[in-house]
Structure 1
């Protein structure tokens, strides 16, 4: 494995945690998963987005920072490879969708101060799936507070992510996850692993997972 730090990103329900977990087992890698269930504002946000968006995003940013800061502090003690199911920048991308303009400006200032202190991945795996597939996955995992997420919200997140990742200065494996299945078959996981064996320049590199 040529990388020390791999990050997986994508919209809600894209399969980030599933893929990160599968890859960590395959490579015997250290796994860093977002502790979304610990955010006390998440159920409240889905019920009342305007009231709870700002504390929701602040809590997420603080928790992501804590996790990744610990990762940086222990970098000489890692297993050879670390795999994360989130990019710290997602804090800013989600905030752009959920916050008012004034709240976002404040949030952005805090984000820019914090981001400079964090380790960055060497390669990003981006899972892209249509909204209908995201909704199918969301329903399957049966988190009660997610079941009413509107298509419009997922679409706004999708439209925020895509322009951002295109300008990142690192290799990005852009995976069409429309038919992704990392649980019941090894075939799709092997495609991702084969792609990680290759060397890429910065930019988007399409990876197709056939049905």
Structure 2
């Protein structure tokens, strides 16, 4: 099974991805940010580095997604899916940090890559209010995230809400209130329930 973990910055995706993968015996695929050569420059000057940042991340996420697809023999938990990348790119474009030409180039790459993608079997959305995520970002104290504002997080939160509504048309979405962290066993139980929904639907379809 391929499980994607979705949520705004500071939601708690990385921790859950690690815990869930460990509990299930799955491979964990962390978000490719540690060796991102554009990250600090991007937060310091979004207009100059916005397009290159998003194209770099898109290529890295595509590479990771393909690794998951090729590794069919083992389950996978991915910290942020490639589909969410479009939320950030769209916001940067709307805010004037990526111009129309670069944005169209980005979308061209993404739409081409989509032909080779498969949706996660289950997408877990960690719903967190922007104020909570900003506090968590402050608490973890990453230098590259120091410039993230509450207004930015509010807009990102709305982008994610719209994204999740759209993704429900393509895969099973499990929405968890992540204001307070749940025990991993409870998450496993909820994932199991969501996975069984499709099995029950297919069984009913066969018997109809």
TM over 0.5: yes
Return the structure number with greater helix share: 2
| Equivalent of residue 97 in structure 1, options 91, 103, 106 | 91
Could you tell me how far 1:17 is from its partner in structure 2?
0.6
Partners in 2 of 1:195 and 1:123 — Cα distance?
11
TM-score for the superposition, normalised by structure 2: 0.86
Gaps of 5+ in 1: 181-186, 202-211
Q: Which residue of 2 aligns with 1:205?
A: none
- The answer on 1:9 being equivalent to 2:6 is yes
Partners in 2 of 1:74 and 1:200 — Cα distance?
25
Partners in 1 of 2:192 and 2:113 — Cα distance?
32
Aligned Cα root-mean-square deviation (Å): 1.4
Q: Which residue of 2 aligns with 1:189?
A: 184
Could you tell me how far 1:143 is from its partner in structure 2?
1.0
Could you tell me how far 1:141 is from its partner in structure 2?
2.0
Instruction: Assess if the C-alpha contact under 8 Å between 2:84 and 2:163 holds in 1.
Output: no
Instruction: Assess if the C-alpha contact under 8 Å between 2:129 and 2:157 holds in 1.
Output: no
Matches within 5 A, 1:51-90: 51-75=48-72, 78-79=73-74, 81-90=75-84
Partners in 2 of 1:142 and 1:14 — Cα distance?
14
Q: Which residue of 2 aligns with 1:120?
A: 119
Moved more, 92-101 or 17-26: 92-101
Partners in 1 of 2:82 and 2:103 — Cα distance?
16
Could you tell me how far 1:101 is from its partner in structure 2?
5.1
Partners in 1 of 2:123 and 2:68 — Cα distance?
17
Q: Which residue of 1 aligns with 2:179?
A: 178
Q: Which residue of 2 aligns with 1:204?
A: none
Instruction: Assess if the C-alpha contact under 8 Å between 2:119 and 2:171 holds in 1.
Output: no
Matches within 5 A, 1:27-42: 27-42=24-39
Partners in 2 of 1:53 and 1:12 — Cα distance?
17
Partners in 2 of 1:179 and 1:145 — Cα distance?
25
Q: Which residue of 2 aligns with 1:44?
A: 41
Gaps of 5+ in 2: 199-208
